Structure 1
Amino acid sequence: MSTLDRYILSAFLRIFGLVLVSLIGVILIVDFVEHIDAFVDQGLTPTLVVIYYFYNLPSFIDMSLPMSTLLATVFTLGTLNRNYEIAALKACGISLYRITRSLLWLGVFLTVFQFLFQNFLVMPFNHKNKQMAREYLKPVRTPTVLREVIRQDLNGNIVVFSQYFPKQNRGAEVAIYSFNDSTLQQRWDYVRMNWIDSLGVWEYKNGVQRTFSAGGEVAFEKLPEVGNVPLTLTPGDIEKEEIRPDEMNIFQLAKFIEKKRILGLNPRHWITDFHFKIAFIFTGFITIFLGISFALQGSRENLAPAVGKSIFALFIYYIFIMGGKKVGNSASFHPAYAVWAGNFILLFVGSFLFWRTSKR
C-alpha cells in the first residue's frame, strides 16, 4: 500500500470511527427513551436491559454504516480539497481514480463485510432480540389465527395449515406432503382438522388422497368423510415459535423460499425480501462512490453543501430501495427488478458525477 493510500485511509477511518460511534450513541439513546416506559412497566432489571441492547448493537451498527461511510468520505476528501492537497496531487499528474482508489476498494471490502456481518451476526442477534422483546416487553397473547403454518412431522412428512386457530386447536385447508428425497409421492388434503385432546389424535373432515407415480400419473382417492390423521404433531408443536422469515439470514431464507415453492405456496413476499437483503448490502460502496463527487464539487471553504447533497442522495436511495420493496411485493414487477432499480440508478448517477468531477 502506497503512502498516499495509507494517508487517505487513516484520515477516513478516524472520521468514520467518530461518526459511527456518535450515530450508534444517538440511536441507542433514542431507542432507550422510546422503551423506558416498557422497561419500567415490565419490571426489567438493569442486567436484562443491558442484554437487550447487547442483542440490538449489531443492528445499530448496521443501520449506522451507510451514513458513517458517506459522511467520512465527504469530510475526508473535502478537508483534503480545502487544504489544496487534491489540487497538488492533480498537478503532479495523479488522476482522481488513483487518488480515491483506496476508498473505492474500501467500499468493496465494506460490501463483503456487510454481507458477512448481516448474515452471521445481525440476523441471529435480531432473532434473539425479538424473542426477548416478545417475552419481556409485550404481553403474551394467543393469536386468533395463524396463516401458512409449515411444520415437519417425525416421519418426515410436511404439514401445511393454510389457517390454524390456536384457541380451538383447529386447522382449515390442511395439506400433508410425503416426499421420497425431493420427489413428491403422496399428498393428503383436508378441509378441516380438529385436535381431540381426550384421544390425543387429529380428526379430519372431508379429505382426499393423491398418489403420484414415477410416470407422472396421479391416482385420486376420496377418503371417508370423518377419520383420524396419523400425525405425531400436537397443538403445542404447531404453536411453538420457530425462527420467523424476517429474522432469517439469506441462506435460511433461500431454503424457506424453496420449501414454499415445492409446497405450491406463493413465496413472492419473501423473494422480494431476499433481494432486498442483498441489494442493501451495497450501500457502503454506493455511499462512498457518491460521496467522492459531492466532496470535490462546489466551494473548498464550505463543506455544508456537500454534506447536504450527500444526505439528500442517501434519502433518495432509501426511497428507491424501500419503494422497490413495496412494488416488488405487488404483482407489477419482478421483485429483483423492483428492488435493484435503486442500486443501478444511483450507480449510474455516481458514475456520471465521478466522470464529470475527474474532468474538472
Structure 2
Amino acid sequence: MNLIDRYVLREWLKTLGLALCAVLGLLVMQAMLEDFQELRDAGSSAFELILYFAIKVPGYFAIVLPLVLLASLLYALGQLHRNNETVAMRAAGVGIFRITRSIWAAGVVMCGLVWALNASIVPWSVDKSREMSEQIKFRHETQTRTSDQIGLTGVVTFDNQRQRRMWFFNRYSKYLQRGYGACVSELDEKHREKSRIRAREARYEDKRGWTFYDGRETWLDPETGEIMRTVAFGTKVMPHFAEDPELMMVFDRRPNDLSFFQLKRIIEYFTIEDNPKVTVYAVRYFGLLADTLSPLIVLALAIPFAMTGVRVNPMVGVSKSIGLFAVYFILLKLADTLGTRGVVDPQTAALLPSMVMLGVGGFFFVRMR
C-alpha cells in the first residue's frame, strides 16, 4: 500500500467512523425511547438495561452500514475533489481506480463483514435481546399472574403437510413451554383424517417428542369419517411427533422480525411446495444473503459521482448518486414484491437488484476512466 492508498483510505475511514457513531447513537436513542420505559416498568435493573442495549446495538449495523458508507464516501471523496487533490493525482497520471483501490479493497472486506453480520452477529443480537426482554417481562408477570397465564399466545395452528399432521392449541405458554387445549389430527395420503389426539395439555421436549396429558385418542375410518375406536389416557408420549413449538409459531411473525437463523430453519424445514407461505420467508432469507454485495454497490454508485469534473457543481454528482441509491431501494422493493407473489423465484428476486445496480455503477465507473 503506497502513500496515496494510505492517505485516501485514512481520510475516508475517519469520516466513516464519525458517521457510523453518530447514526448508531441516534438509533440507540430511538431504541431507548421505545423500550426503556417498558423494561423499567417490568422491573429491570440498571445492569440489565445496560446489558440489553449493549446486546441490541450490533443488530443495527447491517441496517445502517450501506447508508453510512454512501454518506461517508460522498463526503470524503468530495472533499478531496473540492481541494483539487484528485485533480492533481490524475494530472500526474494516476488513474481513478488506482486512486480509489484502497477503498475498493476495503469494500471487499466490508462484504465479508456484512456476511458475518447477517449470518451470525445480527441474528445473535436480535435473538438474545428478544429473549432477554421476554425473560424480564415474564419475571414481572410472575408477581401478578399464575404460571400458566404468563407468556400466553392465543390460538396456535400449524399444518405440517410433510408429515401430514394438523395441530391446534387454544393457547400456548412460552414461559412454561406448554400448550393448552391441544388437538392433533393425523391424515392419510388423500388428506383425510385417520386419527386424532385431544388433550388438556401438551409439552414438547427435544429428546422425548410431545407428551399429552389428560386426553383421548380417536381412530377414524378415512373413507366415511366414522369413529372406529377411542381410548382415554392420562399421559401419552408421542416420540415421533417432532414439531418444534417455536417453528409452529414463527409463521405468526413478519419475515423482517425474524433472525437469519430462524429464516434458515424455515427454509430447511419446509419447501414452497409443502407450504406456499414459505415464499415470503425465502425471499427475505436470500435477500439477506444478497445484501453481502451492498458495500460494492454503494462504492460503484458513489465513486463516479463524488469525483465529477471540476466544471460541474459537486452537488450535481451527489444528487445523482443519491438518486441511483433510491432507484436501488425501489428495485429491492419491486423484486421483493415479485418474489413474494411467485412471479420470479426467491433467488432471482434477491440477486436481480444487486446485479442491475452493480452493472449501472460499473458502467459509470468505466466511462469516468
TM-score normalised by structure 2 residue count? 0.75
Which residue of 142, 159, 169 corresponds with 1:164?
Answer: 169
Distance in 1 (CA, whole Å) between partners of 2:259 and 2:331 is: 23
Distance in 2 (CA, whole Å) between partners of 1:188 and 1:352 is: 58
Please list, as runs of the form range in 1=range in 2, the aligned pairs for 1:183-194 lying within 5 A after superposition.
192-194=196-198
Distance in 2 (CA, whole Å) between partners of 1:25 and 1:45 is: 22
> Which residue of 2 is the match for residue 218 of structure 1?
none
Check the 8 A contact 1:164/1:171 in 2, yes or no. yes
> Which residue of 1 is the match for residue 213 of structure 2?
200
Q: 1:248 to 1:191 in 2, by over 3 A?
A: farther
Q: 1:82 to 1:113 in 2, by over 3 A?
A: same
Q: Give the drift of 1:86.
A: 1.4
Structure 1 range deviating more: 317-326 or 196-205: 196-205
Check the 8 A contact 1:174/1:189 in 2, yes or no. yes
Q: 1:247 to 1:197 in 2, by over 3 A?
A: closer
Distance in 2 (CA, whole Å) between partners of 1:328 and 1:280 is: 16
> Which residue of 1 is the match for residue 297 of structure 2?
286
Check the 8 A contact 2:308/2:314 in 1, yes or no. no
Check the 8 A contact 1:202/1:231 in 2, yes or no. no
Amino acid at match of 2:28: L
Q: Any idea what the Cα deviations from partners look like across 1:65-122, whole Å, max 9, x if unmatched? A: 1112112211221111112121122222222122222212211111111101221211
Q: Give the drift of 1:136.
A: 3.6
Q: Give the drift of 1:18.
A: 0.7
Please list, as runs of the form range in 1=range in 2, the aligned pairs for 1:1-360 lying within 5 A after superposition.
1-136=1-136, 141-148=151-158, 160-166=165-171, 168-174=180-186, 192-196=196-200, 200=213, 203-206=216-219, 224-227=228-231, 230-232=237-239, 247-249=258-260, 253-261=263-271, 264-266=274-276, 267-297=278-308, 303-358=314-369
Compare relative contact order (CA 8 Å, sep 6+) and give the higher one, 1 or 2.
1
Distance in 2 (CA, whole Å) between partners of 1:239 and 1:124 is: 20
Q: 1:58 to 1:26 in 2, by over 3 A?
A: same
Distance in 2 (CA, whole Å) between partners of 1:331 and 1:104 is: 36
Check the 8 A contact 1:253/1:274 in 2, yes or no. yes
Check the 8 A contact 1:143/1:166 in 2, yes or no. yes
Unmatched 5+ residue regions in structure 1? 151-156, 177-186, 210-221
Q: 1:175 to 1:120 in 2, by over 3 A?
A: farther
